[in-house]
Every structure is written in C-alpha cells, then in structure tokens.
Chains A and B, each alone.
Chain A
Amino acid sequence: MQKEELIKKNPLRVLNPLDSESLPDHRMGLIMARAGLGKTAILVQIAMDSMLRSQKVLHVSIGEGLEKAKAWYEDIFKYIAEGFQLDNATEVEDELMRNRMIMTFKESAFSRPKLEERLNDLVYQNIFRPDILVIDGYDFTEADYDSVMDLKEMMAAMNVQGWFSALRHREDERKSAAGVPAPCHEVDGLFDTVIILQPEKNSILLNIIKDEYDGAAGKILNLDPSTMMVKEG
C-alpha cells in the first residue's frame, strides 16, 4: 500500500477530513479515559496521521521518559507498516521521524512559560516549527480554567493544533452539561473536540461526544485492545 492510500483510509479521517475547509489551525482536542485504555496510543495515531501528511508534530510527554514515547511511535508504526503492507516502510519511517520531536518534562518542570520558551528556541533557530502539539500526561486535576486557557491562547498565537490526554478517575462522577466528565468538566468549553474511551466487551469505544467543526460528534470508532489501533466502529 502507498502512503497516500494509508492517509485516505485512516479511520481518524472522521476527525480530520482531508477536504475540510472549516478546520482552523489551532483546534484543541481532548482524549479522556481511565488508566490503561489507550489514550497515548490514540494521541500517537493522531500524531502519526499528521506526520504522514507532512505536518510537524511536537510530542510533549509529562512524567514519562523519552524512551517510552519513542517506543510508542515505533510500535504504532510497526502495526501500520505490517497491517497495511506499506511500501518502502523503512524510508517512510525515516521521513516520518523527521516530522516528529519529543519533549519530556518531569511533572514539576512543566509550565506554559517553559514550553513557550522551548518552542521559541526551536522556531527562531528554524530547527523545528510544529503544526500540532500532542500533550500527554497533563494533570487536569491540578489545573484551573485559566491555566488551560493560557495554553489555548499560546497555541492560537503560534497557530498550532493541540491534542491533550486526560486521566479520568472512577470515583469522580462529576460531569459538565455537555457530558464531559471530571477532571475536565470545568474546562470543556475550551476544547473543540472531546473523545471519551469506553471499554466494551471485546473492544474499546471511542465516543466522540463533541466536535465543533465537522460533525463527527456522535460517530463511533473502535480501538482494537490487542494492537491499540483505531478501527471504524
């Protein structure tokens, strides 16, 4: 299979149609789930799809190491390459990895000013200009509305998309009016797209509960629990 076909066939197209005019560059998305359901896997697949489309992805991992983040990309790429019998897999991987950079922060070391400073280092020296930020491990329980707003403003100013993952806790039952559960129930208005992962019998449902731009809301995707790959529902 060719790279182009892979892009077209990606089930994540629901979220990011190729012909869509309405998507702004600085859209904010959120993936929510309980621990171990595959938030990172989905973030990496969203990143990988952007990388395939020659967009630059900055993967920000908070609390996890560099090796772990790298391993996710390697695994997901391997599934894609083998599952779809991708032509010239080695070359495509080489090309893809040039479109990706990983930044890892200790929980205590992450803040907007720090991220902004690092981004500016990259952009001003023309080392790397991201089109999309993937932020894995951001602690929403510790964040208030203003700090998430702050990040949104920064992304809008830099004209980048942002995708976050958020950890849900079983015992926390709070929900926003739009149905977005804690700990993001108070900041749900800041996100254009919200996806909840729900475990089912033999798979994990990706429930798109909110999508401002392309009406993907209500559509359902699946996650194969053995490979963590997204499939159509």
Chain B
Amino acid sequence: MKANLENLRNIGISAHIDSGKTTLTERILFYTQRIHAIHEVRGKDGVGAKMDSMELEKERGITIQSAATYCSWKGYAINIIDTPGHVDFTIEVERALRVLDGAVLILCSVGGVQSQSITVNRQMTRYKVPRIVFINKCDRTGANPYRVAQQVRDKLDLNAVLMQIPIGLEGDLKGIVDLVAMKALYFEGANGEVVKEAEIPAELQEEAEAKREELLDAASMFSEELMEAILEGTPTEEMIRKAVRTGTLSLELVPVFMGSAYKNKGVQTMLDAVTEYLPTPKDIKNTALDLKNDEKEITLTPDPAAPLISLAFKLEDGRYGQLTYIRIYQGTLRKGDTIVNSRDGKKVKVGRLVRMHSDEMEDIEEASAGDIVALFGIDCASGDTFTSPEISVSMSSMHVPEPVISLAILPVDNKAQVNMSKALNRFTKEDPTFRTYVDHETNETIISGMGELHLEVYIERMKREYKAEVQVGQPQVAYRETITQRAEFNYTHKKQTGGSGQFGRVAGFMEPMTEEVEYEFVDQIVGGAIPREFISSCDKGFQKSLVKGSLAGAPVTGVRVAINDGASHAVDSSDVAFQLAAIGAFKEGYQKAKPVILEPIMKVAVEGPSEFQGAVMGSLNQRRGIIVGTVEEANYTSVEAEVPLSEMFGYSTVLRSLTQGKAEFTMEFATYKQVPKSVSEEIIKKFQEEKQKS
C-alpha cells in the first residue's frame, strides 16, 4: 500500500519500564489486524508479545531494541517505532526519537510520572516531538488518572488536557467518556474489538461537562474560530479536534487519553487520537548537512520527486542477513536504485525493499518521503545517511560519545570463542557506543560502552542469541592521560649490533592543546635535518606512544607534538630507526610535561521525594561529586551532580537503601577531568603493580 503523506504517521511509544508499553503495542497490532491473537509479555502461552523479538526481552519482560512495525488503521498508515525504556540505551532512544514524528507517552495510572518518563520526556522536548499521553492500567488497584494528569502538568511541565474520563476505575473499569463527542464508549467482544457508543451515565454527566469545559478552555487558545463558537455556544467536534491538533503540533498542548491495554479498553480511541492529533511527516521540519557546502544546514522537503535523503537508524541481524531500517526524509527509494552512503561515499544497489512487521516482512517495490522501511544486505553502520548519487548531504552527524567503561571477557571454550567474535562484530555495527578490542599485552578481549547495564545486556545477548558463554572481569573505568605544560625533547636512537645499525635523532617539543583534539603533529623541520621520507616515521612513532601513557597505561590525548631538529645517517637511518627515536623522544618529553590522569565524569540526576534530598546530596558528595543544582517541585526533588564514574559503581543499591527505593537515578557521560592527586597516586600504584605481575 502506498501511503499518502497526509495519511501517514511515524510514531514512537515511550514509557517507564512496566507501564505496559509492550502490551499496548500488542493490542494495537491486534486491532489493526497485523496479528490474529494476543500474547502477553510474560505470556503463559510461551509465544510472547510480537514487538519483543529478542529472547532476552522476552525473559526480562523489557524492550531493549527499537523495532519498527507497520500497520494501518482506518485508512491511515502507522509506523510504530518501539523505543527502549531504560536509560543506558539512550543512544537507541535518541535515534528512535529522530526518526519519528510524534509519540505516545504511556504512563501507569498507579505509578504515574516516574523518573524514566521524565528523562524520555526531556529527550522528546529536545527533539521537539509532539506527543499525546495514554494513561494505562486504569483497571489496577489504586488507579487515578486525574492525579497522573496533574503530575504530567507538574513534573513534565506539559499542558496536559483530559480528552476522556473513565467510567468506573480499578476492577470496575467499564469504558470511557469521550469529552469531544460527549459519548460513553464501551469495548465489547472477547478482545474488546467492538466499540459501542452510548449515552453518558447520569452519574458522570456533571463531571464530564466540567472536564469538557476545561478542554474547551485549553483548546480555544489555539483557535479563534473555536473561541468565538464557544461564546456563541456552538462549538463543533471538528473545531475542537482541529484546535487540539494545532496545540499538540506546536508542543503547547498535550491531549490525555486513558484505558487499560490489558483489559482491552481505550486502545482504539488512542489509535484514533494518533491519526487525529499527531503530525504527518509534512508537519515536521527536518534538516541535513550539506557536505559540499561546509556542512551548511539545509531544510528537507518531503517531496517524493526530490533527490533521495534517508537515514539508516537501526541494524538487525535477521535470518537472511543484515536488515537495515531506514527512514526516508526526501525523495523516493526504489528497488534496483543505486544509492550512496554519504559517510564513505560507497555506492550500493537496493536489492530487496521490505516493510517490517516485527519479525515478519512484506516485499515492496518503492517507498517515498516520510516512510520507514527496511533494506536487505546493505553493509553500513547505524546512523549512516543514504542519498541519491547526485547529492552529498548527511543527516546531521549524531554525536557519538566515547565509551567510559570497559571490562574483559573470556570465552569458556573454542565454540564460544567463535560465536563471541560473531556477536561482537554484529553489536559494534548496531551500536556505535559499544566497542571492542583485544588487549595485546594480556590477550584479553575488552568490551567497552556507556554504563554497567549497557555491557551487561550485551553479555546476556551473546549468551542467548549467539550461545557464547563468557567469563566476565571487573568493570574498569576508561582513564586517559594528558600533559599540562610544554616540554622539549631531544633524543637520539642508536643501535650498533653488527650488520646495518639504526640511527635517528629527533628534537622538538610537545604542548597541551585546549581544543578538543586528541593529537596534532607539527613538522617544523627546515633544511632537511630529518630527511623528508622519515618525517612520517616520526609521526607514526609518536602515535604509537599515544596508545599507552606511562602513568596508568591509558591513552594519551590533547597533545601537540612538534619536531624542529634532528639528525640522520646515510646508511643506518630507516623508517624503524626514526619511529623508535620518536618513541624515545616522546618518553623523554612526556616526563617533563607534567602528565596527569583524566577520568570520565558523569552527569548524574537523582529524582525522588524531597524528604530524601539531604541524604541524596550527602551520598553524591561522598562520591567526590559536585552538586550542580537542585530542582524542587511540590514534594519531588531532582538533584543534578557531576560525579566521577569510578565512584558510581553499585550506586543503585546504595540509593535504594538510602531512600527506601523511592528515588531513581540516571547517568550520562559529561566530560573528562583531571583526577585528584590522592586518587591519581593510587591508580599509578595499581598500574605499576600490574605491570610487574605480567
């Protein structure tokens, strides 16, 4: 089916863990007839919900990777991008947020706005994603959608407006009242598939009218037509819907819907709301960087006839090879087309083009601007831009942070060894924040990433999907080294042991760089003191020295090395000789340049009831944290601090016991900073001991 842009919605479903996201998605797929039976997340039938295609997710009952699923509802095409709920996968969340145009924020009617929802909401605000709220689990004991809507106003700072009210709550949840049409809606049939309209129950009439007043008040801010109609007493459903849509698209209003996915109530009306209030791809402004014009920002037009611009936002290893999820922003992608990866300029031919429904697929001939589809057998990385050959643009390079934590893994046997390398190869392609390398000194395989949980999940996936059993070492913080002052060097490398000898002298200086550049090499040699052909040997030698600093064996960054003098020998000078001379020269200069150790500093946000604020600040302070500030709203406080990562291991346990489990924290990499002297001494001591051992 070829979708008209007006009738296309690319939406994400975001929520706190356990607020029922996967169950809701499952229901959506059922009602849109993409699946024919309903399975639960932790299904007793052993099949599991459709969107959680990975084993691990089935086991843990959480959704880790975002899969895109296509469905249609009342003539509208909807692409659902399932987004992970956990903080450590923020690159996944952020990538998903970029490719979607609107979102449904699911909240639990009992738990309300929890810290994860706050983080996700913040991300959505950053990416300017219009959203609607669905208050789920209204059948649960303690359900109170009114309180949750108030929390949306207070904690998320959104202009939440109730579009519905519940008929009964908790075990008595019967249906909902639609405040626009002023009708009661009941969901009948074995799976709630029959939506029955009826009169509003008499006992709810008054409340419904009061809430409708509030809705009209809020909506009229976005439409003069509606405001006038209200004054005359003649607002129509269409006017209200149009005003709410305008408010939603401008991010100034958030309509709130409710129900219980598990009890099959309110899902269809939420789908109506998705088509009614969330943006079409045309409503959203997307930009890219023009690589031919100094990365100038250009605005994309969702025109199928324009040159193609698309973003690969997700890779998956399917049964038939690599599957690449792609969002088309401009132009049309056809089977058989040749497209260019703007990262490396490589041309690829589009072999098979499919539309994805979780792990089933449908072959299609073409897809155009606004759509989300998948390609087969394309070799690329997540975040790559694909365009028509005649243009050269990149969807603004998503900033990929350097990993901050690493640990050693050791396969238990040969088979595990083979499977492990397959798994690592795949993961590093899917996730740019996940890296791996072999430490040549210890022969260990090291994996590194953005947090403890991030690595844990990959270790689990290795075990489950790739049957690679591994032993895991202690997590290590990724330290770095740098210099703090300028220092000169003048080093001669000489070796005379029969045969041709080695000779090279390298002189110059090194100095710290303030810009965020890792290394710069400056050639100031005049008069051929070092012959041309050996200049690059010097550079190579310096680069080798950067891999491991002498303080803690950590990579050296932020150094500018300049050579301005040297000497060579007609016979004994060689590439190797100058590389060794440079390594010696670096060592000499490095000692004099007052090297220091840098450690990753995390931006930590702890959110919880205000009564624990003192304890939370104390715990952060003890961890060498600098408290940046606090945000206090009603009885809820969030504390923001900068804390060294090395002090954050096991913090979740500490926080839980400090706050009776009522506070939660999120953490993301902020910057590298010099470690205090006492800590630095300890790191150096440990490094020296390990060096002696090996």
Contact = CB atoms under 8 A, between A and B. Distances in A.
Interface of A: 59, 65-66, 69-70, 90, 94, 97-98, 101-106, 108-109, 114, 118, 121-122, 125-128
Interface of B: 154, 514, 613-614, 617-618, 621, 626-634, 640, 673
A122 B617 contact: yes
Given A127-B627, A128-B627, A118 B633 contact: no
| 3 closest A-B pairs by CB | A102-B629, A121-B614, A127-B621
A89 B629 CA distance: 22
B614 A106 contact: no
Given A101-B629, A121-B614, 20 more contacts: A59-B629, A65-B631, A66-B640, A69-B629, A70-B628, A70-B629, A90-B514, A94-B673, A98-B626, A103-B629, A104-B629, A104-B632, A108-B634, A109-B632, A109-B633, A109-B634, A121-B613, A121-B617, A127-B617, A127-B627
Contact of A66 (B154, B621, B628): B628
Q: Looking at A109, A114, A126, which has the most chain B CB atoms within 10 Å of its CB?
A: A109
B626 A97 contact: yes
Nearest to A61: B629
A126 to B, nearest CB: 8
A122 B621 CA distance: 10
A101 B628 contact: yes
Contacts of B626: 97-98
Nearest to B154: A106
Nearest to A58: B629
A125 B631 contact: no
A125 B618 contact: yes
B570 to A, nearest CB: 46
Contacts of A108: 634
Nearest to A103: B630
A109 to B, nearest CB: 5
Contacts of B627: 101, 127-128
Contacts of A114: 632
A94 B630 CA distance: 19
Nearest to A102: B629
A90 B627 CA distance: 19
A218 to B, nearest CB: 37
Contacts of A69: 629
A125 B621 contact: yes
Contacts of B617: 121-122, 125, 127
A103 B514 CA distance: 31
A91 to B, nearest CB: 9
A94 B672 CA distance: 12
A11 to B, nearest CB: 28
Contacts of B621: 125-127
A127 B618 contact: yes
Nearest to B122: A67
A125 B614 CA distance: 8
Nearest to B617: A127
A148 B628 CA distance: 27
B493 to A, nearest CB: 35
A104 B618 contact: no
Contact of A105 (B613, B632, B640, B673): B632
B633 A106 contact: yes
A69 B628 CA distance: 11
A65 B631 CA distance: 7
Contacts of B630: 66, 101-104, 118
Nearest to B636: A109
Contacts of A98: 626
Most A CB contacts (10 A, CB to CB) among B514, B613, B630 go to B630
A115 to B, nearest CB: 10
A102 B629 CA distance: 4
Nearest to A108: B634
A86 to B, nearest CB: 12
A44 B633 CA distance: 23
18 contacts: A66-B629, A66-B631, A69-B629, A70-B629, A97-B626, A98-B626, A102-B629, A102-B630, A103-B629, A106-B632, A106-B633, A106-B634, A109-B634, A114-B632, A121-B614, A122-B617, A127-B621, A127-B627
Contacts of A59: 629
Contacts of B632: 103-106, 109, 114, 118
Contacts of B631: 65-66, 104
B101 to A, nearest CB: 25
A103 B637 CA distance: 10
A128 B634 CA distance: 23
Nearest to A128: B627
Contacts of A109: 632-634
Contacts of A102: 628-630
A108 B145 CA distance: 23
A125 to B, nearest CB: 5
Contacts of A105: 632-633
A108 B632 CA distance: 10
A114 B632 CA distance: 10
A118 B617 CA distance: 10
Contacts of B614: 121, 125
Contacts of B628: 66, 70, 97, 101-102
Contacts of B633: 105-106, 109
B637 to A, nearest CB: 9
A128 B614 CA distance: 12
Contacts of A125: 614, 617-618, 621
A114 B637 CA distance: 12
Among A94, A97, A103, A126, find the residue whose CB has the most chain B CB atoms closer than 10 A. Answer: A103
B531 to A, nearest CB: 39
A118 to B, nearest CB: 7
From A69, A101, A126, name the one whose CB has the most chain B CB atoms within 10 angstroms: A101
A131 to B, nearest CB: 17
B210 to A, nearest CB: 23
A180 B248 CA distance: 44
A70 to B, nearest CB: 7
Contacts of B634: 106, 108-109
A10 to B, nearest CB: 24
Nearest to B627: A101
A65 B605 CA distance: 14
Contacts of B673: 94
Contacts of A103: 629-630, 632
Nearest to B619: A125
A85 to B, nearest CB: 13
A104 B633 CA distance: 9
A106 to B, nearest CB: 5
Taking each of B613, B621, B626, B632, which has the highest tally of chain A beta carbons within 10 Å of its own beta carbon?
B632
Contacts of A128: 627
Contacts of B629: 59, 66, 69-70, 101-104
B672 to A, nearest CB: 12
A151 B79 CA distance: 55
A97 B603 CA distance: 14
A114 B614 CA distance: 12
Contacts of A127: 617-618, 621, 627
B339 to A, nearest CB: 39
A70 B634 CA distance: 22
Contacts of A122: 617
Contacts of B154: 106
B629 to A, nearest CB: 3
A102 to B, nearest CB: 3
Contacts of A94: 673
Nearest to B618: A125
B498 to A, nearest CB: 52
A211 B634 CA distance: 37
A102 B626 CA distance: 11
B549 to A, nearest CB: 20
Nearest to A121: B614
Nearest to A69: B629
A65 B628 CA distance: 13
A101 B154 CA distance: 23
Nearest to A89: B514
Nearest to A97: B626
